[in-house]
Amino acid sequence: MARAALFDVDGTLADTNHLHVTTWWEAFRQAGENVAMHDIHRAIGLGSTDLIAHLLGDERDRGLDDEISAAHSTLYATYFDRLPALEGARDLLHAFHGRGWRVVLATSAGGGELGALRRAIDADDVIAGIASADDVSSGKPAPDAVRHALDIAGCGPDEALFIGDTVWDMRAASRAGVRSIALLSGGIPRGDLEEAGASAVYANPADLLDQLDAEVPATTA
């Protein structure tokens, strides 16, 4: 039976959420919008268009959306050569692969940003495929990215596990019918993640790796 481990990337495998908060805050500031960093943090994990809409509302000047998104992309790109992987991220992906699970990334990142994240994680040898922002019309919490990741893995929802760090990840997995595990490494409180559908919560990739026997069976490919 095919099994798939579907992974979010930002905040789950790479320690990048707070870089996104800072660069989104500056992008909003440059457009004359004062948005609290706390609110931005809770919106991380949404695609760019949805994040802007979530934070500025439907009455915003939509003509600024592209400007804000482009500013964020430019600011965040200055970190591409030093994005940090979270402790245990690479080993966790290898552990799933070693147990016969197909590893697929399901992320809101795309383009050059995704390339930089993949270099940071350094696990392309065990990643079977990627469902990115470039591949779906609706980002999380819509289930599109998770469903596309299932297609890549060639398995059904009951044969997969989704690992993420935001409420948007948990909701997307739930809507796709996939069990989810949450990590606290993205900075979102445990209670929020559990309320959004997480079946278990761990501190970070290294913590999940230490407890992997309790979560998934050891199998061979």
Residue 221 lies inside a defined structural domain of this protein: no
Q: Is the model's pLDDT at 137 over the cut of 90?
A: no
pLDDT in tens, 99-116: 999 999 999 888 899 999
- With 0.85 as the threshold, say if the pTM is over it: yes
Q: In the block, which residue shows the tokens 């495929």?
A: 129
220 within some domain: no
User: Are 60 and 165 part of one and the same domain?
Assistant: no
For the segment 65-99, what is each residue's pLDDT rounded down to a tens digit?
999 999 999 999 999 999 999 999 999 999 999 99
Count: domains in the chain: 2
pLDDT surpasses 70 at 217: no
Is there a single domain that holds both residue 167 and residue 207? yes
Residue 53 within a domain: yes
CA dihedral 83, 104, 164, 173 (to 10 degrees): 150
Same domain? For 123 and 203 the reply is yes
What is the mean pLDDT of the segment spanning 166-191? 98
> How high is the pLDDT of residue 134?
77
Tell me: the pLDDT tens digits for 40-67? 999 999 999 999 999 999 999 999 999 9
Chain Cα centroid distance, residue 46: 9
Q: Is the pLDDT of residue 27 over 90?
A: yes
- Indicate if 45 and 96 belong to the same structural domain: no
> Which domain range does residue 146 map to?
4-15+85-215
- Tokens in use for 82? 């030093």
